[in-house]
């Protein structure tokens, strides 16, 4: 075991479930580094993540041990291992805009009193706070950002509300000598990294891209929540900006969540279409279908992001973590191609890059 990282979670949904199960799975399968940049990264292994606090608003989760809450409805991702009692009770956070119109159909807000989040973060000596709130939780996200700043923790923003890429919040964390990473976690092999890699390939090979789209469907509460069209603006921008950054010219483009299909559960289905022209204006068309279990697609990425954040804390690096954000998130402060982002991330881990 390496140095411990004390982690708090806001939003105990499928992604939190995959992250927690993943740390346990890899603790018992040390020879298996699939899905991780490295099993041991700068002296830290997956099992070195210690979950010390958790916040949610659902009555099915609040008051339960974290080991039980990650399997409580409406969570519906697959189970990859048994989870023994963690000894951390899920406490109620403030709701704000965390429960949308559609989500309120399946999530009953707990009657428990909301906890003082900043106080709890201090009491548990949390070093990193992860936001796994539902898409569109703008005010709720800002609330947890403020709690993170007050408590003195690093903030990792897994959702498409712009914090790490926003100058105001960058300056706020820098002023507190705290790091911040985000925004909107990018899956190990998800729709966005696949799409941006294909587009970059075409551009690098001299193909003129004329148009493209990316359609996504799924059956978990994330997709059900996104039936509220007004909660999608930042999500569409986050995914679109990652692809646009790979093309040095404007093209017609449509990217974003498309529909909720209940029987898919936590499976996500993505369709990527690209049309372009190469030598002699000859047409070329690419159609790709990708099927993944959504929550686990980002768990390994988050383990890398947390370990990178711990390095930043140990080195007193403050403000936006550009390399970690570019490697692990869709809407970072600085967009990079996948290979450039991985190189920058590893240079940061090795101490060859400041942030």
Q: Answer yes or no: are the C-beta atoms of 300 and 190 closer than 8 Å.
A: no
Give the confidence band of 33 by pLDDT, cuts at 50, 70, 90. confident
Mean pLDDT taken over the chain? 95
Q: Answer yes or no: are the C-beta atoms of 1 and 44 closer than 8 Å.
A: no
Query: In whole angstroms, what is the distance from residue 284 CA to residue 235 CA?
Result: 29
- pLDDT tens readout for residues 194-213: 999 999 999 999 999 999 99
Distance of CA 204 to the CA centre of its chain: 28
Cβ-proximal residues to 9 (8 Å cutoff; 6+ apart), any chain: 16, 19, 51, 53, 54, 55, 129, 130, 132
Q: Which residue would you say has higher pLDDT here, 157 or 337?
A: 157
- pLDDT tens readout for residues 69-117: 999 999 999 999 999 999 999 999 999 999 999 999 999 999 999 999 9
**Where in the chain are the domains?**
5-186+296-349, 191-293
pLDDT at 2 over 80: no
CATH superfamily of the domain spanning 5-186+296-349? NAD(P)-binding Rossmann-like Domain (3.40.50.720)
Give the confidence band of 32 by pLDDT, cuts at 50, 70, 90. confident
Fold for 191-293, please state it. Answer: Dihydrodipicolinate Reductase; domain 2 (3.30.360)
Cβ-proximal residues to 280 (8 Å cutoff; 6+ apart), any chain: none
pLDDT at 172 over 90: yes
Query: In whole angstroms, what is the distance from residue 66 CA to residue 62 CA?
Result: 9
Query: In whole angstroms, what is the distance from residue 148 CA to residue 127 CA?
Result: 9
% of the chain residues with pLDDT over 70: 99
Q: Answer yes or no: are the C-beta atoms of 272 and 216 closer than 8 Å.
A: no
- pLDDT tens readout for residues 341-355: 999 999 999 999 988
């Amino acid at each position: 075991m390496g140095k411990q990282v004390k982690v708090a979670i806001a939003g105990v949904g499928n992604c939190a479930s995959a992250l927690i199960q993943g740390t346990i799975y890899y603790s018992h399968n040390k020879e298996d580094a699939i899905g991780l940049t490295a099993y041991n990264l700068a002296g830290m292994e997956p099992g070195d993540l210690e979950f010390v606090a958790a916040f949610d608003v659902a009555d099915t989760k609040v008051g339960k041990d974290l080991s039980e809450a990650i399997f409580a409805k409406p969570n519906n991702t697959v189970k990859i291992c048994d989870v023994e009692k963690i000894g951390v009770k899920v406490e109620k956070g403030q709701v704000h805009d965390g429960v949308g119109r559609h989500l309120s159909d399946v999530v009953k807000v707990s009657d428990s009193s909301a906890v003082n989040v900043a106080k709890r973060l201090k009491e548990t000596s949390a070093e990193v706070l992860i936001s796994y709130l539902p898409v569109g939780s703008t005010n709720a996200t800002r609330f947890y950002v403020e709690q993170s700043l007050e408590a003195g923790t690093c903030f990792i923003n897994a959702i498409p509300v712009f914090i790490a890429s926003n100058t105001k919040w960058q300056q706020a964390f820098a002023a507190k000598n705290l790091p911040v990473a985000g925004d909107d976690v990018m899956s190990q092999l998800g729709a966005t990294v696949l799409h941006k890699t294909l587009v970059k390939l075409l551009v690098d090979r001299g193909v003129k891209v004329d148009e493209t789209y990316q359609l996504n469907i799924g059956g978990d509460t994330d997709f059900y929540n996104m039936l509220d069209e007004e909660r999608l603006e930042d999500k569409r921008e986050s995914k679109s900006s990652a692809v646009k950054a790979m093309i040095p010219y404007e093209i017609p483009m449509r990217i974003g969540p498309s529909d909720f299909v209940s029987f898919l559960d936590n499976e996500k289905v993505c369709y990527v279409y690209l049309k372009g022209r190469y030598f002699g204006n000859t047409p070329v068309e690419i159609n790709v279908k990708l099927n993944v279990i959504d929550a686990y697609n980002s768990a390994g990425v988050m383990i890398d992001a947390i370990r990178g954040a711990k390095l930043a804390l140990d080195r007193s690096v403050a403000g936006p973590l550009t390399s970690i954000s570019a490697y692990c998130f869709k809407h970072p402060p600085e967009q990079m191609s996948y290979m450039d982002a991985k190189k920058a991330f590893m240079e940061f881990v090795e101490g060859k890059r400041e942030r």
